[in-house]
Amino acid sequence: MKEDNYKFQWEDIGDLELGRPNLGNTTHLSVYRLMQYTMRSVLNKELGGIKTSELFFQAGFVAGEEFCKKLLNGNLKFFDFVAQLQKTLKDLNMGILRVEKSDLEKMNFVLTVAEDLDCSGLPITDETVCDYDEGFIAGIFKQYSGLDFDVKEIDCWSTGDRVCRFTINLKDGN
Ligand SMILES: [Zn+2]
């Protein structure tokens, strides 16, 4: 994994049942956040906060594409696909997804995620922090539709809201 051209594939997650016969495949959420926010701390120092946010977005995008390929059925119609996504996110304890608005003609959507992994319960800092999730959603939508979307988090626990709210708009030029 130290090769410059290392590219993530799902198999890199390994065989969790084989590897953790006693501890199983879950951990405390604080450990996930420990990883994420220490990584952010180091990357911010090395590359700056803006660049780091971009990289988190990109990593989330790859995760979204691979997540969709591995765990979701991309042949479903849109609302069935979203229902499946909702169930999968819930089953994996990743968050509670709701569709607030959807315009299938213009391909514009507003989604909320409650009790998400990344920010729920964080101190209020007046800036959104879920760059990875923006990328994750963009990656899922790309993999599902083949189209490019702008995904922006407009509300976040860390901006004082109780859910993360994402606008998803079809990019020009698709
Ligand atoms: Zn958030």
Domain count, the chain: 1
Distance CA 95, CA 111 (A): 12
Q: For residue 173, what pLDDT band results from cuts at 50, 70 and 90?
A: confident
Question: What average pLDDT does this structure show over 74-92?
Answer: 97
Residues lying with their CB under 5 A of ligand 1, a single-atom ion: 119, 130, 156, 164
Instruction: Tell me, yes or no, whether 54 lies in a domain.
Output: yes
Instruction: Tell me, yes or no, whether 5 lies in a domain.
Output: no
Is the model's pLDDT at 174 over the cut of 90?
A: no
Question: What average pLDDT does this structure show over 5-26?
Answer: 96
Distance CA 125, CA 21 (A): 40
Instruction: Tell me, yes or no, whether 124 lies in a domain.
Output: yes
Determine the distance separating the centroid of ligand 1 and the alpha carbon of 99, expressed in angstroms.
16
Q: How many residues does the chain have?
A: 174
Residue pLDDT, tens place only, 48-59? 999 999 999 999
Instruction: Tell me, yes or no, whether 72 lies in a domain.
Output: yes
Q: Which domain holds residue 155?
A: 49-170
Name the DSSP class of 124: P
The helix/strand count (H/E) of the chain reads as: 5, 4
Instruction: Tell me, yes or no, whether 1 lies in a domain.
Output: no
Task: Please give the structure tokens belonging to residue 22.
Answer: 């006693």
Instruction: Tell me, yes or no, whether 18 lies in a domain.
Output: no
Question: What average pLDDT does this structure show over 132-156?
Answer: 97
Distance CA 149, CA 164 (A): 18
Instruction: Tell me, yes or no, whether 90 lies in a domain.
Output: yes
Determine the distance separating the centroid of ligand 1 and the alpha carbon of 143, expressed in angstroms.
22
Instruction: Tell me, yes or no, whether 29 lies in a domain.
Output: no
Is the model's pLDDT at 107 over the cut of 90?
A: yes
Determine the distance separating the centroid of ligand 1 and the alpha carbon of 167, expressed in angstroms.
12
CATH of the domain at 120: 3.30.1380.20
Give the HSE-up count for residue 105: Cα atoms under 13 Å, Cβ half-sphere: 0
Burial 72-94 (b: 16+ CB within 10 A, else e): beeeeeeeebbeebbeebeeeeb
